[in-house]
Structure 1
Amino acid sequence: MQKSIINPWQWQNQLGYAQAVEVIQPTHTLYCAGQAAMDADGRPIAADMSGQIDACLDNLETVLQQAGYSLANVVRINFYTTSVPQFFAAYGQVIGRLSAGGCVPASTLVEVNALAFPELMVEIEATAVK
């Protein structure tokens, strides 16, 4: 698989994402459902945004690994949060985690009124290719 990052500007670089990611002739595409801070039994975990982001990314990596992918294969991530200010206060850990995994995805951040459970503050949805 060949992957190219398209960034007509530079400002997004400090936020750890790309304006577009072109994939030439992928052989497989994995569409991941939104991953939230849930334990293996489907119960919400982590009480703060930082903990929930870590749990979401842990769960996303678990799904990716189960399918034979890694963060480096992710080309698009959508973030859904109940609080953009709280999300951005913890955004450094998102950039660090994605960067360490070789992931510079096209990305969208959306604030929503609620997620599936009242305790949830963030959900992360991804598309990966290989």
Structure 2
Amino acid sequence: MTALHPLRRHGGTAVRSLNPAGWDRMPGFDQGQLRAVGEILTVAAQGPLDERGRLLHDGDLAAQLALSAANFEAVLTAAGMTWPNVAQLRICTTDMDGLLDVLDTLTDHLGEAAAHPPVSLAEVRRLPLVGMAVTLDGLALR
């Protein structure tokens, strides 16, 4: 049985949440969302880098996740969008267990923004810079 929720508005877009299997729903995230599409923003991997492209917070996964989210949000802001516009978010990490331990760093932030996009998590062997443990990429719609 598909859990079909009523339409709501996210960032100016009509959204219907789809959660057919409630047992595997991560708190704060929908399994799927049906949206009417106007403009699509593709966001390349955003990592824990400062404005000069230097890695920050080596060894601190929670801080790396928070800075990656802030960098992702900066791209959204540049497009005139906010977290509720995000239709898909992918998190890549070199340490899945560590990421799961600090994932509330992101879920709390998304909850404060009233956003709960579908999220995919992937563990990778390596990211572009030595010491980089997490990146975020995704799609946003208006």
TM norm structure 1: 0.94
Q: 2:106 aligns with which of 94, 107, 110?
A: 94
User: Which of 1 and 2 has greater Rg?
Assistant: 2
Contact 2:25 2:31 in 1 (8 A): no
Provide runs of 4+ in structure 1 moved above 4 Å.
none
Q: Number of residues paired by the alignment?
A: 129
Is it true that 1:46 corresponds to 2:63 in the alignment?
no
Q: Which structure features the higher share of helix residues? A: 1
TM-superposed deviation, 1:97: 0.8
What value does the CA root-mean-square deviation take over the aligned residues? 1.1
Q: 1:35 aligns with which of 35, 46, 49?
A: 46
Percent identity of paired positions between Structure 1 and Structure 2: 24
- Counterpart residue identity of residue 106, structure 1: P
- Counterpart residue identity of residue 118, structure 1: V
**1:17-96 alignment runs, 5 A limit:** 17-24=29-36, 26-47=37-58, 48-96=60-108
TM norm structure 2: 0.86
* Gaps in structure 2 of 5+ consecutive residues: 1-12
Between the aligned partners of 1:72 and 1:65, the Cα distance in structure 2 is 12
Q: What secondary structure is seen at the aligned counterpart in 2 of 1:17?
A: coil
* Gaps in structure 1 of 5+ consecutive residues: none
Contact 1:12 1:18 in 2 (8 A): no
